Amino acid sequence: MKDVVVIGGGPSGLAAASSIAEKGYKVVILERDDELGGLLQQCIHDGFGTILFDESLSGPEFADRFIEKVMRSDVPIELETYVKSVDKKDDHFELLTVTPEGVHKIKSRSIVYAIGCREKNRFEIKIGGTRPAGVYTAGTVQRLVNLYGVLPGKNPVIVGGGDVGLIVARHLYLEGVDSLFMVYPEDFFSGLPRNAQQCILDFDIPYRNRTTVKRILGDKKVEGVELVEVDEEWEMIPGTEEIYECDSLILSVGLIPYSEKIEDLGAEIDEETKGPVVNEYYGTTVDGVFSVGNLVQIFDYVDDAVKTAYIVAEGVDKFLKGIDVKRKKPIKLVPGDKIDTVTPQRIFYEEGEEVTVFFRPGVEKENAVVCLVNLGNVIKTYRKRYLRPSTLEEIKVPKDLFNGKKEVTIRVR
């Protein structure tokens, strides 16, 4: 019997496994791919690690820091091991894994899910038309270009101004497509401003805001798209349709946590983050099941995602030691006015100094005041120089602030 199984060998899973092993527990990492590092192996641009290491690393370089650490420890790593299902037994969990050798069972007292996120597809954003070859998600293109040196087409259109799309646009431009056009429904790129600047504006790549793709054209291969203008509510404006010729369509329309598996286990899912509801130690609503990294919510920045992995080690430790100092009813942390998401969503334990709370602003605002509110009273305020929806924010909340409360709301004044 293992103490802990960590599912997923991306940066969060690796960091979680190392910190848990340092506490003396028997941990194993299960990774479905044939190498460690997760998604970062295909993110070859720099900018990772500035918070954790004070250096600007590329994705593979950042991942390597965590891979090396795990390699130096005695944590066993099982590659090409896909976790198919997990069953909750009386006092342990039973995992069913699939490897090239066959199907196996593993028993563990607790589980840390670190399986990350996936990209939304064309059906989730309701693009109509035919189903020809040549429609890709931006992450797939990133993988094709950066690992295999294959371009998706000569004249791609990118729909959605998210980060992955912006970064892919720069790769495509520099690797030499004939033409490139980006459209997105927002007023301004939804990705980070830094990516808009260094990927699109630096190179004068053509783009159009308040525009989306209504239909895909072409029988066997993509021959074009029907573009349409949209209003502030992203409703298509009739009469503004226009055919644009292209040989491929790249979707960069958002990421979503991989929560199906953990939901099957009975964990409550947050409507806003689309990830599991977690407490301050990243425990889900199923005892003994934890969740870290991009599965909890989409962290734009992997440095933040990894912070959750350091915190989870404490939670696993408490669970395995049987320390049960839970509040009888966990306190809820909820997003209020001008806030889209808040994690953690629950405060379980009374002891501890402070809680690291992440929230995503719903508005762009300079010199903002962020308030913690209980029963209509402001109980603490934080000043933030610049809020914007594309950037996740972090605050430290003293634990005793939660005493005697049922619910605390975070809002922007």
Ligand X SMILES: Cc1cc2nc3c(=O)[nH]c(=O)nc-3n(C[C@H](O)[C@H](O)[C@H](O)COP(=O)(O)OP(=O)(O)OC[C@H]3O[C@@H](n4cnc5c(N)ncnc54)[C@H](O)[C@@H]3O)c2cc1C
Q: CA 305 to CA 356: how far, in whole Å?
A: 12
Identify whether the C-beta of residue 225 lies closer than 8 Å to the C-beta of residue 213.
Answer: yes
Applying the rule CB under 6 A, the residues between 73 and 112 that interact with ligand X are: 82-83
Nearer to another protein, 47 or 218 (CB): 47
CB of 164 to ligand X, least distance (A): 4
Instruction: State yes or no: residue 407 binds another protein (CB under 8 A).
Output: no
Closest C-alpha among 193, 190, 210, 208 to residue 362: 190
Identify whether the C-beta of residue 161 lies closer than 8 Å to the C-beta of residue 191.
Answer: yes
Instruction: State yes or no: residue 170 binds ligand X (CB under 6 A).
Output: no
Instruction: State yes or no: residue 354 binds another protein (CB under 8 A).
Output: no
Tokens of 330: 């966990």
Q: CA 290 to CA 311: how far, in whole Å?
A: 11
By a kind-dependent CB cut-off of 5 to 8 A, residue 280 interacts, out of another protein, ligand X, none, with none
- Which segment (9-17, 76-84, 168-176, 208-216) binds another protein by CB under 8 A? 168-176
Count the Cβ atoms, other than its own, within 10 Å of residue 180.
23
Nearer to ligand X, 114 or 368 (CB): 114
Q: CA 316 to CA 23: how far, in whole Å?
A: 10
Of 70, 172, 256, 302, the one binding ligand X (CB under 6 A) is: 302
Applying the rule CB under 8 A, the residues between 9 and 68 that interact with another protein are: 34-35, 41, 44-48, 50-51, 54, 56, 58-61, 64
Of 70, 75, 106, 114, the one binding ligand X (CB under 6 A) is: 114
- Which segment (197-205, 240-248, 272-280, 301-309) binds ligand X by CB under 6 A? 301-309
Nearer to ligand X, 308 or 409 (CB): 308
What DSSP string describes 262-331?
HHHTT--B-TTTSSB---TT-B-SSTTEEE-GGGTS--SSHHHHHHHHHHHHHHHHHHHHT---EEEEEE
Residues forming the site for another protein (CB under 8 A): 34-35, 41, 44-48, 50-51, 54, 56, 58-61, 64, 145-149, 163, 171, 174-175, 192-195, 197-198, 202, 300-301, 303, 385-386, 391
